[in-house]
Amino acid sequence: MKKLKVTTGILAIVFIVLSVTSCKDNKKEHNNKDGHHTEMKSDDHSKMDHDNSDGHHDNQSSKKESRTIEGNVQKNAATSPIIDAYIQIKNGLVADSKEITAKGGMVLLVAFSKFDMTALKGDTHKEYMEILESAKEQAEHVVKSPIDHQREHFETLSTDVNDLIALLGTEKTLYQDFCPMANNNKGAYWLSEVKEIKNPYFGAKMMKCGSVKKQIN
């Protein structure tokens, strides 16, 4: 009987010890989960910052826009489909239409895919590939983004198309326009097929804001 009581007492102590240990382990596991969850939140925040990386594009755009690019006098019809698609994007933004702008982005991607680059050699080919890479990235964002972000990517895209014209030329008559209030009052350029100012960065809010800086052809 005495042995039974001792055995029962030992079992009770073992049960208590196991229960306490299990509770601590659960607490640690819970804390680890919480810590991991906090880490995920931090990662998500970083991802959000990265996804909202239009600021990064803006910085790139600002650097590009500061360059002075002389227009190529060559009358090149090969660039016309690309320029036409760019103008469609521009007119979509002027009309404050996300849908028209997105369609223009899709047309631009097709135009670049059909462009025959086999005649481009040496540095010209290298520079074209750099323009192509950037322009495709901007067009892809234009296709899937809300209109505010479309406008941000349009700024860099305008530089890309301007560079393309400077590199290869165009048969079109175009106007290089400038809005001093775009890009957080740093100013931004765009290309237009008409001399009248129709601002794609603000649309109906400030349709006439801007001026013609240069005529191409």
> pLDDT (tens digit, 9 = 90+) per residue, 135-185?
999 999 999 999 999 999 999 999 999 999 999 999 999 999 999 999 999
Is 202 in the same domain as 147?
yes
Structural domain span for residue 60: 55-216
Three-class DSSP category at 172: coil
Is 18 in the same domain as 122?
no
Kindly report the pTM of this predicted structure.
0.69
> pLDDT (tens digit, 9 = 90+) per residue, 77-108?
999 999 999 999 999 999 999 999 999 999 99
Residue 23 pLDDT more than 60?
no
Is 45 in the same domain as 67?
no
Q: Which two tokens stand for residue 167?
A: 């590199």
- How many Cβ atoms are within 10 Å of 108's Cβ, its own excluded? 28
Residue 47 pLDDT more than 60?
no
Is 122 in the same domain as 192?
yes
Is 37 in the same domain as 113?
no
Is 115 in the same domain as 155?
yes
Average pLDDT, the chain: 78
Is 100 in the same domain as 164?
yes
Is 116 in the same domain as 185?
yes
Is 60 in the same domain as 102?
yes
Residue 200 pLDDT more than 80?
yes
Using CB atoms within 10 Å of the CB of residue 137, give its burial: 0 to 12 exposed, 13 to 18 middle, 19+ buried. Answer: middle
